[in-house]
Structure 1
Amino acid sequence: MPSFHDLKVTAIEKTTRDAVVVSLTPTDDADFSFTQGQHLTFRRSFDGEELRRSYSICSGRGDGTLQVGIKRVEGGSFSTWANTDLKVGDTLEVMPPVGSFHAPTKVDAPHIVGFAAGSGITPILSILRTELDENPQATFTLVYGNRNINSIMFRETLADLKDIYMGRLSVLHILTDGSEDIDLFKGRITEAKCTELFRQWIDVHSISMAYLCGPEGMTDAVTRALHAHGVPKEKIRRELFTSAQPGRAKNRPKPSAATAAGITARVTLDGETRSFTMDPSESLLEATRKNQIDAPFACCAGVCSTCKAKVQEGEVEMAANHALEDYEVEQGYVLTCQSFVKSPRVVFDYDQAGH
């Protein structure tokens, strides 16, 4: 399974007043090659309590570097520390890249669109850089929402990329402070605004893949607009940076009569299979870790997919799912932090999920 490795901080660059780009290099021979759109899970102790946070890779595959963007959030211990106290030469504990935000296109000259808000730009920037670098026929349209011009992460980077990929990259900034000259570019990214963008600026019928990253309300609105204009769900990928369900769902699935006497569980992780008995009120992740099995996890909110596993036997219900695509769920994959067992026996495998 992916374990934590020490990565050395080789550079720190301010991209806005409250966001930094951190460059990292493994101190051992660990494989940190990545697919565009993936993220890294960081681990650090604050006041004796372990904290894990996931941040998306913002560099392209061909850039020859590993970078993440970290935006400070109010009350965020890790993001605040990274923006104020982290220094070049420091060492961070990091898990190898995971995530399946990216999907290959099936056309030779793809038109890719990205919709991002705030720090949701980071995985889309990795996809943008990689797609334009690796496919000379690809074009990319980015719709990027922020409060004002000074809060735009990677503003200069995006301007430089427009010069490098002249005629192939279009960037549309949407600002809530109303400072843009054109009314269409004022406010938030809504379903109605997307409809206008498709009418005036974006050829929606040429879209080969759409990537959406930001708050749940924004990604829902863009998804509705894309569907209304004929873009099928298999051409849409979503990733949340914040969620209407920031923690585990308040109402967990109720235990069934079949599980009242307890559940027999068998889990495979890192090539080793262990069996234990679990309580139906526990999630798969809680029960696994309770039995001293170091299962991978990060957000515990059903957003990051770090705890993904494949259910091979038994019935499982997810309380929330903001990370897995429909086809993954159909194949038996679950987010173990959100998964509650509805059958007397369950068999699940982290290794088959790519850990």
Structure 2
Amino acid sequence: MLDKWQNHQPETFVCINKWQQTPDTVTIELQPLVGAESIDFKPGQFVSLGIRIDGKLLFRAYSISSTPQQSTLELTIKRVDGGKVSTYLVDTLAIGEKIQLLKPTGDFNCIDHPPENQSVLLISAGCGITPVYSMAKYWLEHNANIDICFIHVAKSPSQTLFFEQLNQLDRDNSHFNLQLLLKDKVNTDCHQGRLDKTWLEQLTPNLHQRTVYLCGPEGFMEDVSQYLQQLEFNMAQFFQESFTPIAATETETLTTALTLNVPAFGQTLTANHGDNLAAALESAGLPLLVACRSGVCGSCRCKVTPNSVNSSSSMTLTAAEIEQGYVLACSSTLIDNTDVSF
């Protein structure tokens, strides 16, 4: 493991390769500045990537599209309308450029949640294919008995991520069953339509004997989850990606002023009851690292006074750290005066 990752700090990586996947999506290959024989992570996990744009270090979370125990990482990134970081990475990032990466993390992976038997169903849409593509490659490399049905939904062949690679996996592996469902199949043998309960049953042999892994846009995942429940699928064998920014919590109209004492920086801040802790610290210009903003990466861990915040996530925190008073600032709201340390 790279040294800084042990302390929740970013490691410096260098972009050593970059290639186009679709008109608005690229894959970048990253190598640690300080060499590592192999990089360990669990297929399906993501990393928080930091890049300096206009003098400011900005972090965004991206799923890993390569497999573990390699000397490099691959991230597949789609340009988001209005997205400063994704636009920079797709259009501007150059080979040789340095970026920052936090340790891979995420509960959505095939190691912590292995299939109950040797049959899995991977379902994805759009760029949600990235983590399940990593899972599929990992299983095909390490489990000769695995039976994979892979349903991916996209607009057209030219806008299907890993289109050639998926078809090659399908040709090379008798136990890999690719089912592409496209809005416009454009002279291919792919299926054409919109995923619904009927398509799900039609495309998946032995659906009820499989463990399901799902990733895609939030609305798409909600629909698929409902289809499975309507089909009386065993939802204990259902796993989906869940890193989405934590929404602001509705609170009563309460403007009680609170004090945040940050002794390491010699500052005392004023905030309101119900304010997000990370936002309060960032607004004061303190160098808090807030990467995923979803309560999952652990980059914004800090120690607070007991019972001074309400937290909606404690992922990546150990029981000992929670006992010591550590919280994740991005998913904590202020309810009392507090001392903050990093």
Question: Same fold per TM (> 0.5)?
Answer: yes
Alpha carbons 2:278, 2:300 under 8 Å: kept: no
Could you tell me whether the CA contact under 8 Å between 2:11 and 2:101 is conserved in 1?
A: yes
Structure 2 match to 1:222: 224
Choose the corresponding residue for 1:298, options 291, 296, 320: 291
Aligned partner of 1:353 in structure 2 is none
Once the two structures are TM-superposed, the CA of residue 247 in structure 1 deviates from its matched residue by: 7.7
State whether residues 54 and 304 of structure 1, in contact with CA within 8 Å, keep that contact through their aligned partners in structure 2.
Answer: no
Q: Give the Å deviation of 1:152.
A: 0.6
Aligned match of 1:194:
197
2:129 is the alignment partner of 1:121: yes
Stretch moving more, 195-204 or 70-79 = 195-204
Matches within 5 A, 1:1-355: 1-28=7-34, 32-61=39-68, 65-102=72-109, 103-105=112-114, 107=116, 109-164=117-172, 166-177=173-184, 179=186, 185-189=191-195, 193-199=196-202, 201-208=204-211, 210-239=212-241, 248-249=247-248, 252-254=250-252, 260=256, 262=258, 279-289=272-282, 294-300=287-293, 302=294, 305=297, 314=307, 316=310, 318=312, 336-342=329-335, 344=336
Amino acid at match of 1:252: E
Tell me if the contact between 1:204 and 1:229 (Cα under 8 Å) persists in the aligned partners. Answer: no
Which amino acid letter does the alignment assign opposite residue 202 of structure 1? P
Aligned partners of 1:2 and 1:296 also within 8 Å: no
Give the residue type in structure 1 aligned to 2:215. C
1:186: how far off?
A: 2.6
Structure-2 separation of matches of 1:38 and 1:347: 33
| Residue 290 to residue 218, structure 1, CA distance change in 2 (3 Å) | same
Aligned to 1:272: none
Q: Number of paired residues?
A: 323
Question: Matched residues in 1 for 2:301 and 2:284: separation?
Answer: 17
**Aligned partners of 1:39 and 1:98 also within 8 Å:** yes
Counterpart secondary structure, 1:99: coil
- Deviation (angstroms), 1:147: 1.0
| C-alpha distance in structure 2 between counterparts of 1:334 and 1:159, whole Å | 45
Change (3 A) 1:6 1:294: same
CA distance in 2, matches of 1:309, 1:293: 14
Specify whether residues 106 and 40 from structure 1 end up closer, same or farther in structure 2 by C-alpha distance, changes over 3 A only.
closer
Deviations 1:260-297 (A, max 9, x none): 4637799xxxxxxxx98863232132245467765442
Shift of 1:82: 2.1
**Secondary structure in 2 matching 1:262:** strand
C-alpha distance 218-346 of structure 1, shift in aligned 2 (>3 A): farther
| Closer, same or farther: CA 117–197 of 1 in aligned 2, 3 Å | same
Distance 1:33 1:293 in 2: 31
Report SS of the residue matched to 2:239. Answer: strand
The alpha-carbon distance between structure 1 residues 112 and 335, as it changes in their structure 2 partners (threshold 3 A), is: farther
**Cα distance between partner residues in 1 of 2:223 and 2:338:** 37
Give the C-alpha shift of residue 304 in structure 1.
6.1
How many Å apart are 1:50 and its aligned residue? 3.2
Change in CA separation of 1:100 and 1:182 when aligned onto 2, cut-off 3 Å: same
1:144–1:173 Cα contact (<8 Å) kept: yes
Contact persistence 2:15–2:31 (CA under 8 A): yes
- Segments of structure 2 that go 5 or more residues without pairing to the other structure are 1-6, 263-267
CA displacement, residues 321-345 of structure 1 (integer Å, 9 cap, x when unaligned):
8x97xxx9xx999864243245x47
